[in-house]
């Protein structure tokens, strides 16, 4: 699927959480949804409303409406790897949980040593966040599960 087709398919499946999404489809759509459109929207806000840094009405509206297709596309991508939509909680909560745990551990270690507690907690927080974000990204970049799975046929093998 080309960039334009993937973007169109992503928006056409705005509310669709069933089925599977290929890696290329998902990442082309994420490029559009998370990089290209926010830049366009920010430029519109800045030029039309003199609103800097995504604080204009177009940016706020876009942010609200972009959450749904981001979520549904990620669910379809997880389905393609054989994972349930419940793994989306991991995509959102794992970085936060790991960051908090890393921060708490670092503060505890800093309390036992003479390390400044704020510096150690920041290091632990960042390390936990990096680990917590790496796992969901790994899920989203994995190859498709071969053959049909409980979420549908493999899009690579589907006949047109």
Average of per-residue pLDDT across 9-30: 96
CA distance 26 to 131: 22
Q: What is the pTM of this model?
A: 0.80
Say if residue 57's pLDDT is above 80: yes
Number of domains in the chain: 2
- Its sign, for the CA torsion 60, 33, 76, 86, is negative
Q: Which domain holds residue 13?
A: 1-81
Per-residue pLDDT, 134: 83
Q: Are both 62 and 108 inside the same structural domain?
A: no
Q: Are both 70 and 35 inside the same structural domain?
A: yes
pLDDT tens track for 86-99: 888 776 777 777 77
Angle at 31 between CA 7 and CA 44, to 5 degrees: 90
Provide the terminal-to-terminal Cα distance of the chain, rounded to the nearest Å. 12
Q: Are both 76 and 90 inside the same structural domain?
A: no
């Amino acid at each position: 699927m080309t960039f334009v087709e993937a973007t169109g398919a992503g928006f056409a499946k705005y509310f669709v959480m069933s089925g599977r999404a290929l890696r290329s489809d998902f990442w082309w759509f994420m490029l559009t949804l998370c990089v290209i459109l926010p830049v366009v929207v920010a430029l519109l806000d800045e030029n039309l409303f003199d609103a800097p840094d995504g604080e204009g009405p177009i940016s706020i509206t876009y942010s609200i409406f972009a959450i749904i297709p981001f979520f549904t596309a990620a669910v379809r991508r997880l389905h393609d790897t054989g994972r349930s939509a419940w793994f989306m909680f991991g995509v959102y909560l794992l970085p936060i949980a790991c960051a908090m745990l890393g921060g708490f551990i670092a503060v505890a270690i800093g309390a036992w040593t003479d390390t400044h507690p704020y510096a150690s907690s920041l290091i632990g927080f960042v390390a936990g966040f990096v680990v917590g974000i790496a796992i969901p990204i790994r899920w989203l970049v994995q190859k498709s599960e071969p053959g049909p799975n409980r979420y549908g046929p493999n899009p690579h093998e589907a006949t047109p």
